[in-house]
Amino acid sequence: NAGVTQTPKFQVLKTGQSMTLQCAQDMNHEYMSWYRQDPGMGLRLIHYSVGAGITDQGEVPNGYNVSRSTTEDFPLRLLSAAPSQTSVYFCASSPQLSTLGGELFFGEGSRLTVL
Amino acid sequence: GENVEQHPSTLSVQEGDSAVIKCTYSDSASNYFPWYKQELGKGPQLIIDIRSNVGEKKDQRIAVTLNKTAKHFSLHITETQPEDSAVYFCAATLNSGYSTLTFGKGTMLLVSP
């Protein structure tokens, strides 16, 4: 059972370049989200989706775009990378839209460095 | 919005000792408090959670306590083992939605054999 799969695991970009971080889940989860993890900052929500065709902003959305055309996929796009976007990115999903259901399932992360 | 403070940032214990990680939250309306464990190179994984109508919850060597009056909750790990070494995150949410789940900054737990 694959769970939440993120690609690539590592990426180096130059300032101004664009790229897409891929996230796919095979658990038929309605809720999907992207977090960034920075040293001493914990996990901060970038964007989230409660179903195909529905997305919304989290705490730190600037510089990132998302779309949700299928239940399975939730790509994160960096339109013009900046050094401040150097971070580890995690995709997470849940079968429920509410925490009353419990668990977020995380991918293994994508480490991005912007030079 | 919610603010979650987590202490300590690092914690070193000997195998077999107990470990306690504490978190405080700012909004008295928060009603759900999960704890996640992140092993090196992996994504976080839920280990235990508690809701505001419960004061304590146990799962084998792990327990979480909640003090709603003081607005703090704690993770207790007894009989620590080297495989408990990881980063632990607490979190809190106001209205049960994942979009409002606020994480603490994490505690790195090191268990020495």
Contacts of A106 in chain B (CB under 8 A): 43-45
| Chain A residue closest in CA terms to B105 | A42
What are the two backbone dihedrals, phi and then psi, of residue A68, each rounded to the nearest 5 degrees?
A: -140, 85
Residue A99 has pLDDT above 70, yes or no: no
> For chains A and B, what is the number of CB pairs under 8 angstroms?
63
The residue that leads in pLDDT, B30 or A112, is A112
Contacts of A94 in chain B (CB under 8 A): 98
Residue B54: the pLDDT is 83
What is the Cα–Cα distance from A22 to A24, expressed in whole angstroms?
7
Residue A68: the pLDDT is 97
Q: What per-residue string of b and e applies to B45-74 under the rule 16 or more CB within 10 Å gives b?
A: eebbbbeeeeeeeeeeebbbbbeeeeebbb
Q: B61 to chain A, minimum CA–CA distance in Å?
A: 20
From the list B87, B112, B89, B111, the residue with the least C-alpha distance to B102 is: B89
Put simply, the chain A residues between 60 and 89 with a CB less than 8 A from any chain B CB are none
CB contact under 8 A, A106 and B44: yes
From the list B23, B21, B18, B20, the residue with the least C-alpha distance to B3 is: B23
Residue B101: the pLDDT is 87
Q: Where does the pLDDT of residue B52 fall: very low under 50, low under 70, confident under 90, or very high at 90 and above?
A: confident
Q: Does residue A40 belong to the interface with chain B, where contact is any CB pair within 8 Å?
A: yes
What is the Cα–Cα distance from A56 to A68, expressed in whole angstroms?
11
Q: B13 to chain A, minimum CA–CA distance in Å?
A: 21
- The minimal CB distance from B105 to the residues A42, A99, A102 is found for A42
pLDDT, one tens digit per residue, over A65-77 is 999 999 999 999 9
Instruction: Please say whether the beta carbons of B9 and B33 come within 8 A.
Output: no
CA dihedral A77, A80, A86, A89 (to 10 degrees): 0
Residue A30: the pLDDT is 92
pLDDT, one tens digit per residue, over B1-37 is 789 999 999 999 999 999 999 999 998 888 889 999 9
Residue recorded with tokens 């789940």:
B101
CB contact under 8 A, B99 and A56: yes
User: DSSP code of B97?
Assistant: B
Q: B41 to chain A, minimum CA–CA distance in Å?
A: 7
| Chain B residue closest in CA terms to A4 | B43
Residue A1 has pLDDT above 70, yes or no: no
Contacts of B35 in chain A (CB under 8 A): none
Q: A25 to chain B, minimum CA–CA distance in Å?
A: 14
Residue B22: the pLDDT is 98
